[in-house]
Amino acid sequence: MAVLMAIRRMLAGILLLGMSGTLIELLLLGHDEDRIQLIPLVALGAGLIAVCWHAASASGASRTVLRGVMLVFLAGGAAGVYYHYRANVEFQRETDPSLAGRALLWSVLRAKVPPALAPGVMVQLGLIGLVYAYRPSSDKESE
């Protein structure tokens, strides 16, 4: 049980570090130009609060909220990859209308702004958060 608790503390630390770093990076990049760009900022803020709440109380309510926020991370990360990809496709087609198929795909994936796969970090953080919030049924009796 002590090992499991240590792993959970490490996961909480990784989550807090990852969410804080991602939030700071998005703020420094000015990722707040329109409403859709606010989604990861709000989700990261909610994630920081949820992890801190759960780390402090480990209550069933805090776990449920944490899981919900982490599901938002998963959905938001997937949506972000889609929106970044779509923006890159539009830009690449404007730059070179002859691009299509595999050449277009590679140009889009290699584009620096916006990085097409960068929102995948939200998916990673969401998965780490779900692992952190996981509680085997045998642990429920000890709560």
- What pLDDT, in 10s, does the model give residues 87-120? 999 999 999 999 999 999 999 999 888 899 999 9
Mean pLDDT of 113-137: 92
What are the start-end ranges of the E strands in 24-104? none
CB-based contact 88:116 (threshold 8 Å)? yes
Q: How far, in Å, CA of 15 to CA of 1, rounded?
A: 21
Question: What is the DSSP-derived secondary structure letter of residue 119?
Answer: T
Residue 122 lies in a domain: yes
% of residues, the chain, pLDDT over 70: 95
Domain that holds residue 92: 2-137
For the ranges 49-63, 102-116, 129-143, the lowest mean pLDDT is seen at 129-143
Domain count, the chain: 1
Residue 142 lies in a domain: no
Nearest to 12 by CA among 132, 137, 142: 132
Residue 53 lies in a domain: yes
Residue 115 lies in a domain: yes
Q: What is the pLDDT of residue 26?
A: 96
pLDDT confidence band for 142 (50 / 70 / 90):
very low
Crossing angle, helix 120-133 and helix 35-57, to 10 degrees?
A: 20
Residue 115 Cα to chain centre, angstroms: 15
